[in-house]
Structure 1
Amino acid sequence: MACSSVLYLLQIERMASCEKPEPFSKTLVQFWMAKVSEWSEATSPSAQLDACRHQEKLRGFLQEVLGALRLARCASEALENLPFVGQLLGRLCSVPCVTADEESSSLLLQCLWTLFSPTPRSAIELKANDWIRKTMCHLVAADEEGWSVMKHVGLPSKEYNVSTLKKMMCLLTEAVNGGCSSFRSPTERCLCDGLHSLSLTCVPLVTRPEAAPLIGALLRRSVTCAHTQLSEEFVEAVCSGFLDKKLHLDVQTVVALWCHNLSSLERAVLRLVSSVLSGPRIDLQTLDKQVNASLLPQACAQRCSVFLVVNEIFRCTLLEMEESSVLRLLIQSFTRCFLRALAAQDPEDRLALKSFFPLVPVSLQMPMLTLPSEVPQDVWLEHLMGISAQLQLASAEAEERGDNTSGSVFEVWFLLLQGGGWVDVAAQLLASAQTHAASSSSSSSSESKSRALLWLLTFFYHPTNRGHQRIQQWECVQQVWGDLRGVCLSPTPPPPRALDTVAESLLSLVSSRLALRLLLSLAVFSPVPGDAIALQLIRKMSEKKREEDEKEEEEEAVSLRREAECLLAAAAEHRLNSDTLASARVQARLRTLEDTLWNALCV
C-alpha cells in the first residue's frame, strides 16, 4: 500500500509538470467505445472471454483517463477535454466482467469521484453530479432483473448484493485512505474535495455493517485533512445510528466522529445520562458495563480534549441536578472506567493526570483518583486521613480568600465526587470498629480519626459555607453522629422517645442525604446489629416530613428511597472486608435493608 502511494504521488507530480494533457487519439477512443458497446450488449461466453483478455489494457487506458481528469481544474473542463468520458464510464459500470475486477472497479470509482463537482457552477456540472450519484449507486446495488453475472455464477440475489457491497466498500475505503496528497499542484483540486459527495451517497448505507470501514475512513480523513467536508446528513446519520446501537464503530472512529462534530459528543453524553437516570434500580457492575458500552471512557483516555468536554458536560449537569444521587454514581462510574482505560494504555502514550484535571492541585489528584481496590486495606485509614487533611486545608485557604463558594472548592469537591469510592470507604470505616479502639491509650487517636472521616463525609454533602454557618453545622453533625451511634449500638432496644429525638436531630442536618448516609452506614457496617433500628429511624423521618407537607414529603420519600438504593449499591460494591464472617453479616444486612426499604420510606 505504501509503495503504491509513492508511485501514485510520483505520477501526480509528473502529470502536474505537463501544461496540458496529450489528447487521446480518435482511433484509440473509437476502439474502446466499440469494445465497451460489444461487452455491454452481449452476455455470451465469447464476449466475456474477450473482455477478460482486454482487462489489462483497459486498466491502463482507465489509468490514463483518471490522470487527465485529475489535471482538469473543474468538471466542465474535464468534460470538454474528454467528451467521451461520460458514455465510456457509464457503459463500463454496466459490464459485469469489468466491475467484478477489483482494480478496474477501483479505477472506475476514482474516475467518477474525480469528475464529481463539490461546488457545481453550471447546469452541466449539476447534471453530471446527478448522473454520477446514480452510477455509483448502480455499482453497489442490483437492478430489478438482477445483474447478468448472477446468471453465470449461480449466486442468489441477496448474497450477491452483500458480496458486491463489501467489495465496493473496500474499494472506496482504499480510495479514501490513499486519496489525499500534500504535494499536489496549486492548480489541482485536492482529491478530498469529493468526499462530501461520497459521504452523502453513504447516508442510506450507514447502518450496514459492510459500510463501517468506509465510515471510519471518511471520519478519520475529515480530522487529518482541512479540505475534507463531510455532509451534515452523513454525520447525523452516523451519530444517530451509533446512539441507537444500529451501527458498531471502533474507538478510533468514534473519537474521529466526536472530534469532527462536538454536538454528537454532547448527544452521546446526554443520552447516557438520560438512560441511567430513567433506568431501574442501580447496580454498579451493570452501570459500569453501560458506561463502557458508550465508548466514552475509552475515547476520553485517547483524547484529552474529548475528556475535558465530557467532564464539563457532567459538571454542568451536576450543577442543575446536584441532589441526584444516581447522577453522582454515574459520574463516579465514568471516572472509574476512564481511569482503567487510561491505565491500559502504553506508558509512553499515556498522558499525566494533570492534563485531564488541570484545575485541581496535583497533590490531590493521585490520592483521590486511586481506586480503593488498588490500595491495601491496612492503609485505607491512613490514605483517607491524608485526603481529609488536604481537603480541610484547601477549604480553609479558600475561606480565608473569601472564594469558598467559587471554583477552587468546587473543583476539589468535584474531584472527590469523581473518585467517590473513597467516600464509601470512609463511611464504612467510620461505622465499623476499626476507628474505635477499646484501649484508653488509643481512644484519643481513634476519636481524632473518626472526626476526620466524619468531616470528609460532611464536606462531601455540604462543601460550601452556605450562610457562613460552617462551625454550627459541624457541631450539629458531630452531635447527631454521637446520638445516632448511641441508639444504633445500644445493647438494649432504645425507647420510642429516644428514637423520636434522634429522628428530629437527623432532620435538622443541612443535608438529609448525609443523615441517610450515616444511618445506613451504621446499619450495614456496625459491629452490632443496627439495621432494624435504622429502618425505624427512616420511617420516623419520613413520617415527620409528611406531617409538614404531604406533597413535598411524597417527592422527598421517593428521593430518599432512591438515595438509599444508591448508597446500598455502593456498600454492596465497596465492601472489601477479608473477614468471611463479617462479609456474610454485611450481605445479610444489605438484603434485609433492600427488601424493606420501599415500605420504610413510602408507608
Structure 2
Amino acid sequence: MAEDSGITKSNFEFWLHKALEWGQITIPESQQDVCLHLPELQEFLLQIYGALKHTNCTGAVQKFPLIGQLLGRLCWNPFVVGHDECQKILMWCLCCLYSGEPQNPVELKANSWIQISLCHLLSLSGLGHHDGDIDNFITTLGLTSADYYVKLVENPQASCHPAIFGTTEEFFKNALLETDGALEVMTVMQVFTRCFLQAYQENNEQRKFPLKAYFPHNPHSLLRAFLRQPSDLPAAGLHQHLIHIAEMLKAIVKTNCMRSSSNLFDIWFLFIHFGEWADMAAEHLLVSEAESSDALLWLLVFYYDPNDENQQRSQTMLESRSLCEHLITLSRTPALSARDLLVAVNGELSRKQPATKELAVHLIISFLLFTANGHAIAREFITHFAVTYGEVSRISSLLSRIAHRVSQLEVKYQRTVKLANDLLQILKSVG
C-alpha cells in the first residue's frame, strides 16, 4: 500500500469494506450510513486522487491492487454519486487511470470499464438516472440521444482531461456509424466542439493539456488550419484559407487512403468537428467569383461522402457541379419564382445518388440564405421543398447551424440570420 500518499492499508480496506457493505444492506440504512461518512469519504477520495494523478494505470494497480473494485462500487452507489463533490473526485480518479495509449490487455480492459463509468457519471451530472444496463444505454445512442449529447456539451468536465473528451468522442463515433453519418449527429458534434474549445480557452490552469492530446490521431497541421478563426480573416484571406484546407485534406486523404480505412475515418471525423468550414465552402461556391470551385466542391463532397472509391467520388463531383452551376445561373435570373427553383431542383435531385442528396440540400439552403434571389423566394419555397422531399429535420439542422455561425459575423449577415430563424419557424409549423 502507498504509505507515502497518506493512505494506509487499513484505511483502504475500511473504505472497500464500506463500499461492499453499502451495496448489500437495505436502502434506508445504506443512505443513512453514506450520509454519515460522506465528509470522511470525500477526504479519502482526494487522497486517492493525489496518489493517482502522477502515475499510469499499471502503476496505480501496483500501488492499489483493488482500486478498480473500490472506485467501481462507489461510482454505482446512488448515494455516493448523488454528492456533487464525491462524484467530481471520482471522475478525476477515473481520468487518472485512463491510458491514452494502452500498452497491454489490462490497460485496454481498464479503458473500456473507465469509459462506461465516465459515461454513467457524466449522464448523472447532466441528466437524471438512466434505468437499465449502461451497456444497453450506450448501444442505443443515435438520433434519439441528441438531448444526451447536448448535456455533454454543457458539461465543463469535457475540457478538463483528454480521457473524458475521448469518451465523448467514442459516443460520437458510434452514433455516426450507426446512423450512417446523420446530419443531426454532425450538428451536435459541432456544437460540442465549439463549447469545448471555448471552455478550453477559458481554462487558465498552468498544467493545461495541449490540444494535440485531445486529437492524437490527426495531422497537427490540419488541426491548426481548422482552428483558425474565420472572423480573424479578411474576405479574400478566408477564401484562400478554404482552398488551403481543401488542398491539404485532399493530399492527406490521398496518402492515408493507401494505408487503411481507419486512417481515412479519423481524418473525416476530425473534419466533422469543424463543419463550419463545409458551410463556408457551400456559401463561397455560390457567391464567390474566384476560379476555385473544384477545390471547394471537393471539400463538400468529402464532407458528405468520404468513400475512397474514385469513380464514385468523380460521379458525385459531376452531379454536384451541375447543381451548383444551375443555382448560380438562377441567382442571376430576373424575377425568379419559388416554382422555378422547385422545378429546377426536382430535375437535379432526381438524378442524384442517395449519398449526394445531402450535399444538394446544403447547396440549396445556402442559395436561399446567401443570394438575393434566394432571399426573395425562401419563405414560399421552403414549405413546398421540405414537405415534398421529407427534409424537415435535415433542413432545420442546417439552418440552425448556419444561423449560429453567421450571427457572430458582420452586421451585413443580420438579414440572413433573421431569414434563417423565420424559416425555422415555418418548418416547425409543417413538421
* TM-score bracket for the superposition, by shorter chain length: 0.7 to 0.9
| Match in the other structure for 1:333 | 191
Does 2:359 align with 1:514?
Answer: yes
Q: CA deviation at 1:314?
A: 2.1
Contact 2:320 2:359 in 1 (8 A): no
Query: Which residue is equivalent to 1:563?
Result: 394
| Equivalent residue number for residue 64 of structure 1 | none
Is 1:248 the counterpart of 2:75? The answer is no
* Structure 1 Cα separation of the partners of residues 143 and 36 of structure 2: 30
Which of 459, 463, 471 lines up with 2:302 in the alignment?
459
Distance 1:412 1:529, change over 3 A: same
Give the whole-Å Cα distance in 2 for the aligned partners of 1:347 and 1:232.
Answer: 29
Q: 1:278 to 1:472 in 2, by over 3 A?
A: closer
In structure 2, the residue matched to 1:505 is 348
Task: Give unpaired runs (5+ residues) of structure 2.
Answer: 23-29, 53-62, 98-112, 127-137
Provide the C-alpha distance between the structure 2 equivalents of 1:194 and 1:312, rounded to a whole number of angstroms.
Answer: 35
Q: Please say if residues 291 and 297 of structure 1, whose CA atoms lie closer than 8 Å, have aligned partners that are also in contact.
A: yes
Q: Structure 1 498/324 Cα, relative in aligned 2: closer, same or farther at 3 Å?
A: closer
The question of whether the paired residues in 1 share the 8 Å contact of 2:338 and 2:377 is answered with no
Asked whether 1:218 is paired with 2:49, we answer no
Instruction: Give the conservation status (yes or no) of the 8 Å contact 1:487–1:499.
Output: no
Alpha-carbon distance between aligned partners in 2 of 1:459 and 1:360, rounded to the nearest angstrom: 16
Check whether the contact 1:488–1:534 (CA below 8 A) recurs between aligned residues: no
Residues 209 and 193 (structure 1 numbering): CA distance in 2 closer, same or farther, change over 3 Å? closer
- Residue 419 of structure 1 is matched in structure 2 by 274
Partner of 1:363: 221
Residue 425 (structure 2) aligns with: 595
**Alpha-carbon contact 1:367-1:387 (below 8 Å) kept:** yes
Q: In structure 1, what residue type is equivalent to 2:281?
A: A
Deviation at 1:592, TM superposition (A): 2.9
| Matched residue count | 378
| Equivalent residue, structure 1, for 2:119 | 266
How far off its partner does 1:416 sit? 0.8
Cα separation, 2, equivalents of 1:345 and 1:521: 35
Opposite residue 428 of structure 1, the aligned amino acid is: E
**Mapped partners of 1:474, 1:309: distance in 2:** 35
Q: Distance in 2 between matches of 1:377 and 1:347?
A: 35
- Indicate how the Cα distance of structure 1 residues 413 and 247 shifts in structure 2: closer, same or farther if over 3 A, else same: same
Question: 1:305 and 1:591 mapped to 2: Cα distance?
Answer: 37
Give the Cα separation in 1 of the matches to 2:178 and 2:405. 28
Q: CA deviation at 1:206?
A: 9.5
The offset of 1:297, in angstroms, is: 1.4
Deviation at 1:487, TM superposition (A): 2.7
Q: Structure 1 counterpart of 2:420, which letter?
A: L
Corresponding position: 1:487 with 2:303:
no
Query: Which AA in structure 1 matches 2:155?
Result: S
- Provide, for residues 249-282 of structure 1, a one-character-per-residue CA deviation record: whole Å limited to 9, x for no partner: 37554222555651211335678798994489x9
**Taking structure 1 as reference, are residues 359 and 598 closer, same or farther at Cα in structure 2, changes over 3 Å only?**
same
Note closer, same or farther for the CA distance 1:183–1:333 as it changes in structure 2 (3 Å cut). closer
Give the C-alpha shift of residue 390 in structure 1: 0.4
Q: Secondary structure, in 3 states, of the residue corresponding to 2:307?
A: coil
* SS of residue paired to 1:426: helix
Aligned to 2:27: none
Which letter maps to 2:244? G
- 1:269–1:310 CA contact under 8 A, matched in 2: no
Could you tell me which residue of structure 2 aligns to residue 395 of structure 1? 253
Conserved? CA contact 2:91–2:121, under 8 Å? no
State whether residues 503 and 540 of structure 1, in contact with CA within 8 Å, keep that contact through their aligned partners in structure 2.
Answer: no
* Alignment deviations for residues 291-345 of structure 1 (CA, whole Å, 9 cap, x no partner): 354344133xx3x333333323322332112332222122222222222333334
Partner of 1:360: helix, strand, or coil? coil
* Matched ranges for 1:56-455 at <5 A: 181-182=3-4, 189-200=9-20, 204=31, 211=38, 214-215=41-42, 217-218=44-45, 221=48, 224=52, 226=64, 228=67, 229-230=69-70, 232-238=72-78, 246-249=82-85, 251-257=88-94, 262=114, 263-267=116-120, 277-278=143-144, 290-299=151-160, 302=161, 304-346=162-204, 348-373=206-231, 379-398=237-256, 401=258, 403=260, 406-431=261-286, 433=287, 435-436=288-289, 446-448=290-292, 450-455=293-298
Query: Is the contact between residue 46 and residue 89 of structure 2 (CA under 8 Å) also seen in structure 1?
Result: no
Q: Provide the C-alpha distance between the structure 1 equivalents of 2:265 and 2:145, rounded to a whole number of angstroms.
A: 28
> CA 1:570/1:230 → structure 2, altered by over 3 Å: closer, same or farther?
same
SS at match of 1:322: coil
Identity, % of aligned positions: 22
Query: Quick one: structure 1 residues 183 and 385, their matched pair in 2 at CA, closer, same or farther if it must change by over 3 Å?
Result: closer
Cα separation, partners in 2 of 1:358 and 1:488, compared to 1, 3 Å = same
> Offset of 1:507 from its aligned partner?
4.2
Larger Rg: 1 or 2?
Answer: 1
Distance 1:212 1:364, change over 3 A: farther
Q: Is the 8 A contact 2:20 2:73 kept in 1?
A: yes
Quick one: structure 1 residues 183 and 257, their matched pair in 2 at CA, closer, same or farther if it must change by over 3 Å?
A: closer
CA contact (8 A) 2:154 2:195 kept: no
Whether the 8 Å contact between 1:507 and 1:515 is mirrored in structure 2 is no
Whether contact under 8 Å (1:216, 1:253) holds in the other structure is: no
Q: Distance in 2 between matches of 1:503 and 1:206?
A: 68
2:39 & 2:142 partners in 1: Cα distance? 28
Aligned positions of 1:532-571 closer than 5 A: 532=377, 536=381, 539=384, 543=388, 557=390, 560-571=391-402
Measured in 2, the distance between the counterparts of 1:335 and 1:212 equals 36
CA distance in 1, matches of 2:175, 2:387: 28
| C-alpha distance in 2 between matches for 1:402 and 1:486 | 41
Contact 1:565–1:594, Cα closer than 8 Å, also in 2: yes
